[in-house]
């Protein structure tokens, strides 16, 4: 499952919202913004669930800068969509955000306008208020519900938890011509 997060007022909030500083002191001159409290643990938990984490922002912050900032906080980010990339892919006449163009399954945003665009253009948006102290639990609950309702994502999660992908890769390395054994027999894993 691929999940994207908005930045402003979702992951980076105003002074009234509790934040965390995970950037080491010697890098803070380069990354002065603080991330919303609970964001790092939430993203690590989503990665443990097998989710890909993306950033989708309407700002023109450089993608390399954002990836580097998240890496400095030890937060796994698989991709960044900024306004420049959005306009290159979607154009100027489309919605302000269009996650399906980037194969994103769920977008997390603070904007009701983005949620309305999601309803109009048929993409999934979870609206999180900057004032919501339980925002991370809401995101996890929504992601878990979507994983359980989708057999493909549920199977991916089972495979990841069982360690089957490592066994399969090892089996393919040792026996490359044995393509009929997609899943090694000794695991006994049945995927619904």
Q: Which of 65, 61, 10, 57 is nearest to 38 (CA)?
A: 10
State both tokens at 101. 């163009």
Task: Check residue 158 and give its pLDDT.
Answer: 66
Q: What tens digit of pLDDT does each residue of 85-114 get? A: 999 999 988 899 999 999 999 999 999 999
Q: Which domains does the chain possess?
A: 2-149 (3.40.50.1000)
Task: Check residue 42 and give its pLDDT.
Answer: 96
Give the separation between CA 130 and CA 128, rounded to whole angstroms.
7
Q: What is the pTM of this model?
A: 0.78
Residues of the chain with pLDDT under 70: 18-19, 22-32, 154, 157-192
Task: Check residue 176 and give its pLDDT.
Answer: 57
């Amino acid at each position: 499952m691929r999940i994207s997060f908005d930045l402003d007022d979702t992951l980076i909030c105003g002074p009234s919202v509790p934040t965390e500083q995970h950037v080491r002191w010697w890098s803070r001159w380069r990354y002065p913004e603080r991330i919303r409290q609970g964001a790092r643990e939430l993203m690590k938990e989503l990665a443990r669930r097998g989710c890909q984490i993306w950033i989708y922002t309407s700002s023109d912050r450089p993608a390399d800068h954002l990836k580097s900032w998240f890496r400095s906080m030890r937060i796994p980010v698989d991709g960044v969509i900024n306004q420049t990339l959005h306009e290159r892919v979607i154009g100027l006449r489309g919605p302000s955000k269009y996650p399906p163009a980037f194969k994103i399954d769920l977008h997390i945003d603070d904007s009701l306008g983005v949620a309305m665009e999601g309803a109009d253009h048929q993409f999934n948006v979870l609206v999180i208020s900057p004032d919501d102290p339980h925002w991370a639990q809401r995101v996890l609950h929504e992601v878990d519900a979507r994983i359980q309702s989708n057999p493909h994502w549920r199977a991916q999660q089972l495979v990841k938890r069982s360690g089957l992908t490592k066994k399969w890769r090892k089996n393919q390395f040792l026996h490359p011509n044995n393509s009929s054994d997609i899943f090694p027999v000794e695991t006994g894993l049945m995927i619904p």
